[in-house]
Structures are given as structure tokens and as C-alpha cells.
């Protein structure tokens, strides 16, 4: 979904069969051979509730608000549309500042067996190894917070459906979806690390260098050959490596960054759309407006009006 939060996960089938026996962290578990989906519901304000899993876990908010306290991580508000990956055997301490009987806080925790994680990471490390990253693909080695994008939201929603339906083949279905989810989460994590403005990898990782290069020259007409030369790769190898690592093509990434920059200019300046389009590297105003609407769900003018900027 463009512009704004993802829709809430559909847990209606779970709600029909779950039994509530506690006011804090009522838990219903759905299990297959490689993973366990836990759905929690809290109906009472509480603080520092502890939760630990033996396997890497993906926690996602369904409804309400939590405050998460994770080791070596500043506390943060946890809201619908957001997820966090937590390593196995790491204790989460959770506050429920708004939970009520009529407005319960709901979340899910998907614990994935280490063998399943290893199967996926080994496959990626063998077939599509990360460039300039000796440790290779990893999942669940450290805390990682993310806002769910469309594909990740859809995969989690699909897993909820599979786990809660009564289908004899659900292990098969779930394992296929799990594999894609783990890959997309690792791509999201790799992208966040390599594209961070504060990353220390620019001098040792070619893709981190390329990300910084793109952001520096967004206003220019960037060609794949120029980026491949900067990465000391052939064009086909650069294109394939970039897409495998980040989960999107170089062109898609460039356009994504240009729309992000355009959104900032629309929020913070009164400049006309033609000027903003040109500064962000678009040589065609009509294309800029079309792409902005596709990415943001509304036109640049609607976006600016919504923010109250004249």
C-alpha cells in the first residue's frame, strides 16, 4: 500500500478459536515442522513483560502499541505496520501503555527453526553471494527493526492464513512462504546496512559506495554503465548483483531515492513542481508526476496540500 501504513493483518480466523485466560500476553501457538506462529493479545496496561524464544523470531504488530526494550538497543515504540527481528535466546522486555479490555494490544511472533534459517542462508551464500561481505548472508544474528513493505506484509499475512487454516498440506505451503520471507527480510537488512548514510562500509564495499554515489548525483542522468564502472564490474554482473542484494533494480532504487528527495522538497519548500522534478533528476515532469503517484498513492500537488504547504 502506498503512502501511509499497511493495512492490519487479518486474524479473524484466529479470533474465532482462541481462548483468553490472562490479561497480559495471552498466547495462541500454531506450529509446523520448521516454525511456530504465536499470536499474543494483551488487555491490561503492563510494564517490562519478558519474552524469550530459543530461535530467531520475527515480531510484528497487529493492533495497538508496545514499547520494546531490547539489549544494546534504545527503547522504541512498536506500532502496526512494523516488525523487528530478534536473535534466539535474547530477552525482549515489553511495555503495554495503552492495552485495554475493549482495545487490546495484539502482535505476532514467528519463531523460525535455526535449521530452516541455515538452509535459506546456505542457498543464498552458494548461489548469490554478497559482494565484499565475508560473513555472507545472515538472519537473526542481531536486532533489526523495519517498516514492512508491501511484499513483506503480504508474506506475513499469507503465513497467518496458512497457519490458522485446517489444511493437511500447510507445512508445505508455509515452508515455501517462509523461504521467500527470510530472503526478503535479509535483503531488507542488507539494504538498510549498505544504504545507511552513516555506514562505515563505503570504503570497503562496492555496493555501499554505489549507494552513496547515486545519492550524491541524483540530479544527473545516471546510466548503468557509469555505476558498473564505479563498482569495477561488468554491466550484467553489476545489475544482477545489485538486484540480488537489495531486492530491487538500480533504476528502481534511483527512482525511489528521487521520490524520497522530492517528497522532502514538497514538505519543506514552496518551489514549483517543475523545479523539484529537475532537481531530483527527472527530465520529464509528466513522468515525475506519474512515478510520484505510483509510489506515494497521490499526486505531488495532493501530497503538498495534505501537508498544508502552499
Q: Which residue has the cell 479490555?
A: 101
Residues 6+ away with beta carbon under 8 Å from 22: none
CA atoms of 288 and 298, how far apart (whole Å):
12
- The residue behind cell 511495555 is 95
pLDDT at residue 19, rounded to an integer: 55
Cell numbers 503492563 correspond to 46
Q: Strand 82-86 vs strand 35-42: parallel, antiparallel, or unpaired?
A: unpaired
Per-residue confidence (pLDDT) for residue 157, from 0 to 100: 96
Rounded to two decimals, the pTM is: 0.81
Task: Please give the Cα distance from 12 to 4 (Å, whole number).
Answer: 23
Which residues, in sequence order, are bridge partners of residue 36? 31, 111
What is the signed CA dihedral for 187, 191, 192, 195, rounded to 10 degrees? 180
- pLDDT of res. 20: 45
pLDDT of residue 24: 65
Residue given cell 494483551 in the structure block: 42
CA distance 205 to 195: 11
The residue whose grid cell reads 502552499 is 310
The span from the CA of 148 to the CA of 73, in Å, is: 20
Alpha carbon distance 291, 260 (integer Å): 11
Task: Kindly state the cell numbers that stand for 57.
Answer: 523470531
CA 212 to chain centre: 21
Range 197-310: architecture per CATH: Orthogonal Bundle (1.10)
Q: Which of helix, strand or coil describes residue 203?
A: coil
| Tens-digit pLDDT string for the chain (310 aa) | 444 456 678 877 666 665 545 546 689 999 999 999 999 999 999 999 999 999 999 999 999 999 999 998 999 999 999 999 999 999 999 999 999 989 999 999 999 999 999 999 999 999 999 999 888 999 999 999 999 998 999 999 999 999 999 899 999 999 999 999 999 999 999 888 887 766 677 778 999 899 989 989 999 999 999 999 999 999 999 999 999 888 889 999 999 999 999 999 999 999 999 999 999 999 899 999 999 999 888 999 999 988 764 4
The confidence score (pLDDT) of residue 38 equals: 95
- Integer-rounded Cα Rg, in Å, for the chain is 21
Q: Is the Cβ–Cβ distance between 218 and 280 less than 8 Å?
A: yes
Q: Quick one: pLDDT at residue 230?
A: 95
Q: What is the pLDDT of residue 3?
A: 42
Q: How far are the Cα atoms of 145, 201, 252, 303 from residue 266, in angstroms, in the given order?
A: 27, 31, 21, 8
The alpha carbon of 48 is separated from its chain's Cα centroid by a whole number of angstroms, namely 26
Residues 105, 220: Cα–Cα separation, whole Å: 47
Using a 10 angstrom Cβ sphere, with 0-12 exposed, 13-18 middle and 19 or more buried, the burial of residue 204 is exposed
pLDDT of residue 225: 96
Task: Map out the domains of the chain as residue ranges.
Answer: 12-194, 197-310
- Counting other chains too, the contacts that 254-263 makes at CB distance below 8 Å and 24 or more residues apart are 254/214, 254/218, 254/222, 254/281, 255/291, 255/295, 256/295, 257/214, 257/215, 257/218, 258/218, 258/282, 259/291, 259/292, 259/295, 259/296, 261/218, 262/288, 262/292, 262/300, 263/296, 263/303
> How many whole angstroms separate alpha carbon 216 and alpha carbon 214?
5
User: What is the model's pLDDT at position 191?
Assistant: 87
pLDDT of residue 202: 77
CATH, domain range 12-194: 2.60.120.810
Let me know: does 143 contact 87? Beta carbons within 8 Å.
yes
Amino acid at each position: 500500500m502506498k503512502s501511509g501504513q499497511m493495512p492490519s493483518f487479518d486474524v479473524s480466523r484466529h479470533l474465532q478459536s482462541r481462548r483468553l485466560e490472562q490479561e497480559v500476553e495471552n498466547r495462541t501457538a500454531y506450529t509446523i515442522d520448521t516454525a511456530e506462529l504465536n499470536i499474543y493479545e494483551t488487555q491490561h496496561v503492563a510494564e517490562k513483560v519478558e519474552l524469550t524464544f530459543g530461535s530467531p523470531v520475527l515480531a510484528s504488530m497487529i493492533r495497538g502499541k508496545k514499547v520494546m526494550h531490547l539489549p544494546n538497543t534504545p527503547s522504541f515504540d512498536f506500532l502496526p505496520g512494523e516488525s523487528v527481528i530478534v536473535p534466539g535466546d535474547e530477552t525482549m522486555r515489553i511495555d503495554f501503555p495503552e492495552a485495554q479490555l475493549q482495545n487490546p494490544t495484539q502482535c505476532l511472533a514467528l519463531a523460525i527453526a535455526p535449521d530452516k534459517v541455515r538452509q535459506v542462508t546456505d542457498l543464498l551464500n552458494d548461489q548469490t553471494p554478497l559482494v565484499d561481505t565475508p560473513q555472507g548472508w545472515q538472519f537473526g544474528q542481531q536486532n533489526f527493526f523495519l517498516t514492512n513493505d508491501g511484499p513483506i506484509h503480504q508474506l506475513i499475512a499469507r503465513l497467518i492464513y496458512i497457519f490458522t487454516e485446517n489444511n493437511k498440506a500447510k507445512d508445505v505451503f508455509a515452508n515455501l512462504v517462509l523461504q521467500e520471507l527470510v530472503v526478503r527480510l535479509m535483503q531488507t537488512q542488507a539494504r538498510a546496512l549498505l544504504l545507511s548514510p552513516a555506514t562505515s562500509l563505503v570504503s570497503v564495499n562496492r555496493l555501499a559506495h554505489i549507494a552513496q554515489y547515486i545519492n550524491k548525483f541524483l540530479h544527473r542522468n545516471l546510466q548503468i554503465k557509469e555505476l558498473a564502472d564505479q563498482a569495477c564490474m561488468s554491466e550484467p554482473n553489476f545489475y544482477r548483483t545489485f538486484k540480488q542484494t537489495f531486492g530491487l533494480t538500480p533504476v528502481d532504487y534511483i527512482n525511489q531515492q528521487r521520490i524520497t528527495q522530492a517528497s522532502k522538497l514538497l514538505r519543506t519548500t514552496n518551489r514549483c513542481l517543475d523545479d523539484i522534478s529537475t532537481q531530483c533528476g527527472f527530465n520529464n515532469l509528466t513522468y515525475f508526476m506519474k512515478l510520484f503517484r505510483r509510489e506515494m498513492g497521490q499526486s505531488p500537488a495532493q501530497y503538498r496540500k495534505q501537508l498544508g504547504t502552499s
